[in-house]
A and B are shown apart, each in its own frame.
Chain A
Amino acid sequence: MKFKNGSAKRKLLTFGLFFILLGVLAYGTVAFYTEDSIATGVITAGNLDIKLIQQEKFGDEFYNVPFENITGVAPGQTVSRIVSVENCGAYAAYVRVSVNLIITLEKGYSISSAPENPVTVDFNTTDWTYNEDGYYYYNHPVEPGAATAPLFSTVSFSGALGKTFENSKANLKVDAYATQVVNNGANVFEAAGWPDPEE
């Protein structure tokens, strides 16, 4: 390309200056530095943690020791078995407990021949309430680190137990369940979300 006269040079110079000026102006609106960083957010779920406490009085002393199976119980005898539930978690919990008595007789005898109430449990009806669904509900929320009042403290065997119960076994099976207090009804009876016993 060949410029024929000074007018074209002036036009080219003008356009050149225009574009340089445009470039300078554009510079003011283009970022001269960019950076990006990733923040990793974390959400964690809480949990409930309870522990079934089973103790017995140590002889006639005033302190308790872990409960152990008792053998050779005689009719009319009362044994110590103190059952409560401790909240080991970080959140308040509602607690319910199921208690099932299973008597296994020696071979050849039938349970139908047993006297009424062969075994009696001294349930604490002040702090616990038996419901139609078969559970004993603790009437108060259990705060973290705290424990319930005992559900029962003694188990008594009827004095009327006869030959039928010789060498029999009485298994008092206790299971405890908990559900959260927060966002879960006004009291233990309105609470939902109890664990499934089958799981």
Chain B
Amino acid sequence: MKRILKLSLSLALALCMLLPLATSVSADGKVTYSGNSGDFIFTPGSEHSPTDLFDGFKGVMPGDTRTQKINVVNDADNQVKVMIYLRALGAHEGSEKFLSQMTLTVDATDGERLFKAPPSEKGDLTDWYCLGTFYSGSDVDLDIMLEVPIEMDNEFQNAIGLFDWEFKVEEFPVDPTDPTPGTGDDNNTVLYVCLGLCSLVLIFFIVLFKRRKDEDEEAA
């Protein structure tokens, strides 16, 4: 019984110590405003476009519903806050027919729908849409969904569709009255501290348990 208890405690301890190492899965697409260099950095890119944000929308088949995220982050220094805007510019020439077959939906983190239309169109992103004010390190996620109709014709096998989104940034000086900028670190620090404390408590009890056991054995 004691052995089982000991094993269970060891496993629980190992689990507690391993948990803080776990990190969240990164977004599929990323738009980084790097500040001093002035430009946005778009990743991951693809063989068709170095600024491609839609790694998850390759090789789509009729009836597919694909989802992915795009993470927009301000990676500039602490001296500025920025406002980042997005607008759709539509399809490249020759891509309209293919892209008009499907529906692209873009939702903000708070659930607000920014866009629902074929990616060949500008939809509700014809005009600049402000994604928010970003302090250094802060970010937002856009939830992207692509729906391909089951009726999409055979003629679109191996089709490639290109469309443009434009991002704009406005830098502002940080005011003393601004809220404390986020660091961009979204790890659950409190959780990890608690887990660490739990680990220490477990170690304490194991040592205490062993010491008492040794004392009992000596007394016997």
Question: Which residues from chain A sit less than 8 Å from chain B, CB to CB?
Answer: 28-29, 31-48, 90-91, 180, 182-184, 192-193, 195
Contacts and interface: CB of A to CB of B under 8 A. Distances in A.
B160 interface: yes
B160 A32 contact: no
A193 B169 CA distance: 46
**Size class of the contact patch on chain B:** 35 or more
B99 A45 contact: no
Contact of A40 (B51, B152, B173): B51
Contacts of A38: 51, 89, 164-167
A36 B52 contact: no
A98 B61 CA distance: 25
B40 A183 contact: no
Q: Which of B58, B59, B159 has the most CB of A within 10 A?
A: B59
A136 B8 CA distance: 58
Contact of A193 (B62, B164, B168): B62
Interface in B152-201: 152, 154, 156-173, 175
17 contacts: A29-B172, A31-B172, A33-B171, A37-B167, A39-B164, A41-B164, A42-B46, A43-B161, A44-B59, A44-B60, A47-B158, A90-B59, A91-B61, A180-B62, A180-B63, A182-B61, A184-B62
A37 B52 contact: no
A8 to B, nearest CB: 36
B40 A43 contact: no
Nearest to B83: A31
Contact of B42 (A37, A91, A184): A37
Nearest to A195: B154
B64 interface: yes
Interface string B28-62: 00010000001110100010110111100111111
Which of B31, B46, B61, B163 is the most central at the interface, judged by chain A CB atoms within 10 Å of its CB?
A: B61
B163 A41 contact: yes
Contact of B173 (A28, A39, A91): A28
A45 B170 contact: no
B119 interface: yes
Contacts of B92: 40
